[in-house]
Amino acid sequence: MERRLRVLMAKPGLDGHDRGVKVVARALRDAGMEVIYSGLHRTPEEVAQASLEEDVDVLGISLHSGAHLTLVPRIIGRLRELGRRDVLVVVGGIIPGEDGLKLKGAGVAEVFGPGSDLDVIVEFIRENAGRGRERDL
Amino acid sequence: MGTERKSGFYTVSGRPIKRLYGPADGVRDYAGQLNDPGVFPFTRGVHTTMYRGRLWTMRQFAGFGAAEDSNARYRYLLANGQTGLSVAFDMPTIMGYDSDHPRAEGEVGKVGVAVSSLKDMEILFEGIPLDQVSTSMTINAPAAILLAMYIAVAERQGVPPDKLNGTIQNDILKEYIAQKSYIFPPRPSLRIITDIFAYCSRHVPRWNTISISGYHIREAGSTAGQELAFTLADGMAYVQAGMEAGLRVDEFAPRLSFFFNAHNDLFEEVAKYRAARRLWARVMRDRFGARDPRSWTLRFHTQTAGCSLTAQQPEVNVVRTTVQALAAVLGGTQSLHTNSMDEALALPSEYAVRVALRTQQVLAEESGAANTADPLGGSYCVEALTDELEAEAEAYFARVEGLGGVLAAIEAGFFQQEIADAAYQYQRRVQSGTQGLVGVNIYQGDEPVTIPIHTVDEAAVERQLRRLAELRRTRDAGAVQRALAELRQAAAGTANLMPPILAAVKAYATLGEISGVFREVFGEYRERPLF
């Protein structure tokens, strides 16, 4: 029996645009994953800590504040300090193309902008999550 | 007969639409349901002459970087024929943090302009005569502080408060419901708001003290009917709060203004604005006993729907925005912001902002839509939709009252869950193809995006941080401490908060320091996460 994927959907930073994060959270839950939503206005440290405590396979980070280049690398850095290199990190929100490339360079697996297909997001997570865990163990 | 190409036809909100509307759907009682523009219940508009008297205010929401960057953008917009200013603040300002606060890192000057002190505000409006423009400020939890700064800047320009025109958004209820930029718990937040009502009715009589906003409710995923219902429910809660604070309804109600979204579905949107005017007029006269006709009229700003814009084929967004802006004009809006084509990609570039402003100018000068009031009045379809939306809103009012009112419904997560459900259902319709979106699920193309993209100059952040450090070093620290102590005392008691806030900003106490006092006294709000 395969373990259900555990996902933390997180809203770091100060913006309160939570439509996207909630819609994706629900789509992942409908696809059979266990989804936890962090709530708003979380610090990078809180997001990384919650990923550890909830023992998640996937961390979805949603930002609409333009602070992605500051906050996302900080979350990933903290995750690594906590020994969780295996967590699949995906990002959603208004992320200009060039910034998306920078985020991928910093360890983000994929960036999903406005209008992304929910089925594509689900499929991407199914195909890529949990692999790092096997590799690391 | 004839077969139809789909099994059902629905608005963007999922409302079923009939093949044909006819006399049975039309107007039964002209004077009671509609009446002429400028006459109760104002269904057809709040002014007799509507746009023949005066066009709507073209007001593009703008702000980024440090104060001097935004000042330059405002001057550019005014030079291009814009007729009012609309200030976007960055997230730290909106959340009551100074630019040098640890939580502000990475967010300074990003989604709006950074304003930490009166110094920044002076630069923001340099060379812009505040007795000649009207200024709208999208600010909520710290609205009293920014209004105080605006009054102080005007004073320095020699403009007295009773000559000031403008609006603060100041609508905290929709923050708990949808936009989520709250700081303090609901009760003290409402107290700050009623203090503003009271202060402005005496000292800043032409200021719109609140902009009761459905825009963000819609952006968060609500339907048109929910946007209408929740916004007017909030409006009623503010009137109630003002009256409970001891104000006479006609003392403050004429300065209440509204802010709606304009989404893609032309007729449903027009009906929404018309229903809003009729509902509000009746509620104000019959439920709250307002006697001043200005208390009955629902005046509103409109912004086209940011959430309708696509990152794919962004030029097509100009067309969407045009249809949405037309809905606002046909619906009788008092002012309008048209979104720029690039907003699903980044903050708008100067080029994209100009095209958006020109869109309004074409509607005003070329389309003929401004030549007659309420041109869709009497349309079987639009009248039927107006009645339907009105009934839907009234059903929601009853549910909210059943839950114990707006605050209780917020605490129960009622609005939040209704909106999350509607957002998810919409996304499912897009996913299944029931709702077509050009460039997204139909008529896709894979051409690369070629429009220019705006980037925030990192030097602006440095400039802002240097200015704030300099201010902290050079201001009269004793005066700041005294002003903050007085403010703390007022906050803990029941005195009107505006005078001590004004004294504090004039002493160059920062936004973060003043908000900090309120955080101490009032505490901070945290919502129960749900999805």
**What digits encode the pLDDT tens for the residues B435-475?**
999 999 999 987 777 788 887 788 999 999 999 999 999 99
Q: CA-to-CA distance for B397 and B389, rounded, in angstroms? A: 12
Split at pLDDT 50, 70, 90, the class of A2 is low
CB contact under 8 A, A15 and B111: yes
What pLDDT, on a 0 to 100 scale, did the predictor assign at position A136?
A: 45
Residue B201 clears pLDDT 50, i.e. is over it? yes
Nearest chain B CA: its distance from A134 CA (Å): 30
Q: Give Cα B356 distance to the centre of its chain.
A: 18
Q: How far is A88 from chain B (nearest CA, A)?
A: 22
* Spatial contact of A73 and A104, defined as CB atoms under 8 Å apart: no
Q: What is the mean pLDDT of residues B416-427?
A: 96
Cis peptide leading into residue B41 (ω within 30°): yes
**How many inter-chain contacts (A to B, CB under 8 Å) are there?**
105
Give CA angle at B54 (B53, B58), nearest 5°: 165
Give this prediction's pTM.
0.94
B312 to A115: CB separation less than 8 angstroms, yes or no: yes
**What span, in angstroms and rounded, lies between the C-alpha atoms of A103 and A73?**
7
Tens digits of residue pLDDT in A98-121: 899 999 999 999 999 988 999 999
User: Is A37–B307 a contact, with Cβ atoms under 8 angstroms apart?
Assistant: no
Provide the 3-class DSSP secondary structure of residue B11.
coil
State how far Cα B27 lies from the chain centre: 31
- The span from the CA of B227 to the CA of B77, in Å, is 30
Report helix, strand or coil for B448: coil
Q: Which residues of A lie inside 8 Å of B (Cβ-Cβ)?
A: 9, 13-19, 21-23, 25-27, 35, 37-41, 43, 64-67, 69-71, 94, 96-97, 113-115, 117-119
CA distance B468 to chain A (A): 20
CA distance B44 to B187: 36
- Asked whether the beta carbons of residue B106 and residue A94 sit closer than 8 angstroms, the reply is no
CB contact under 8 A, B311 and A113: yes
DSSP conformation class of A2: P
The terminus-to-terminus CA distance of chain B in angstroms comes to 44
Closest to B61 (Cα-Cα) out of B113, B120, B116, B117: B113
Q: Flag whether pLDDT at A133 surpasses 70.
A: no
pLDDT of residue A32: 97
ipTM topping 0.95? no
Chain A positions touching B219 (Cβ under 8 A) are 17, 19
Distance of alpha carbon B272 from alpha carbon B282, whole angstroms: 16
Least confident range from B184-193, B235-244, B342-351: namely B342-351
A86-97 per-position pLDDT tens digit:
999 999 998 988
User: Which of A7, A11, A19 best probes binding to B when mutated, by most B CB atoms within 10 angstroms?
Assistant: A19
Q: Do A22 and B424 touch (CB under 8 A)?
A: yes
**B431–A113 C-beta distance less than 8 A:** no
- Put simply, the answer to whether B91 touches A14 (Cβ < 8 Å) is yes
Q: Tell whether the model's pLDDT for residue A71 goes beyond 80.
A: yes
Predicted confidence at residue B445, as pLDDT, reads 86
Q: What is the dihedral of CA A49, A53, A58, A64, to 10 degrees?
A: -40
Q: How far apart are CA B505 and CA B119, in angstroms?
A: 9
Is pLDDT above 70 for A132? no
Residue A131, pLDDT > 70, answer no
Are B423 and A25 an interchain contact pair (Cβ–Cβ within 8 Å)? no
Mean pLDDT value across residues A34-55: 96
pLDDT at A97: 86
Interface contact flag, B111 A66, Cβ < 8 Å: yes
A66 vs B370, more confident: B370
Chain B residues in contact with A9 (beta carbon < 8 A):
531
Q: What does the pLDDT look like over B24-74, one tens digit per residue?
A: 998 999 999 999 999 999 999 999 999 999 999 998 888 999 999 999 999
Cβ neighbours for B179, distance < 8 A, ≥ 6 positions apart: A16, B140, B213, B216, B219, B220
How close does chain A come to B421, measured CA to CA in Å? Answer: 9
Whether residues A26 and B531 touch (CB distance < 8 A) is answered with yes
Closest residue, chain A, to B444 (C-alpha): A115
For B342-400, what is each residue's pLDDT tens digit? 998 888 888 999 999 999 999 999 999 999 999 999 999 999 999 999 999 999 999 99
| B189 Cα distance to chain centroid | 18
Helix axes B511-522, B143-156, angle to 10 degrees: 150
Residue B384 CA from chain centroid, whole number: 27
Lowest mean pLDDT among B103-107, B116-120, B171-175, B450-454: B450-454
Using an 8 Å Cβ cutoff, are B209 and B197 in contact?
Answer: yes
Q: Average the pLDDT over B157-177 and give the result.
A: 97
Mean pLDDT of A48-58: 97
User: How close is the nearest chain B Cα to the Cα of A111, in Å?
Assistant: 13
Q: Which of A97, A47, A92, A103 is nearest to A65 (CA)?
A: A92
Task: Retrieve residue A40's tokens.
Answer: 């708003």
CB contact under 8 A, A23 and B110: no
Q: What is the DSSP letter of A116?
A: -
Task: Please name which of B55, B26, B110 lies closest in space to residue B329, comparing C-alpha atoms.
Answer: B55
Q: Closest chain B residue to A74 measured between Cα atoms?
A: B106
Residue B189 has pLDDT above 80, yes or no: yes
Q: What percent of chain B has pLDDT over 90?
A: 91
Residues B116 and B98 sit within 8 Å (Cβ to Cβ): yes
Q: Could you tell me if A88 and A125 are in contact, meaning their C-beta atoms sit under 8 angstroms apart? A: yes
Q: Compute the distance between CA of residue B388 and CA of residue B528 in angstroms, rounded to an integer.
A: 33
pLDDT band at A26 (very low <50, low <70, confident <90, very high): very high
How high is the pLDDT of residue A93?
Answer: 93
Instruction: Give the closest-approach CA distance of A77 to chain B in angstroms.
Output: 16
Distance CA A82, CA A46 (A): 12
- At B487, the pLDDT band (50, 70, 90 cuts) reads very high
Closest Cβ opposite residue B179 in set A16, A97, A118: A16
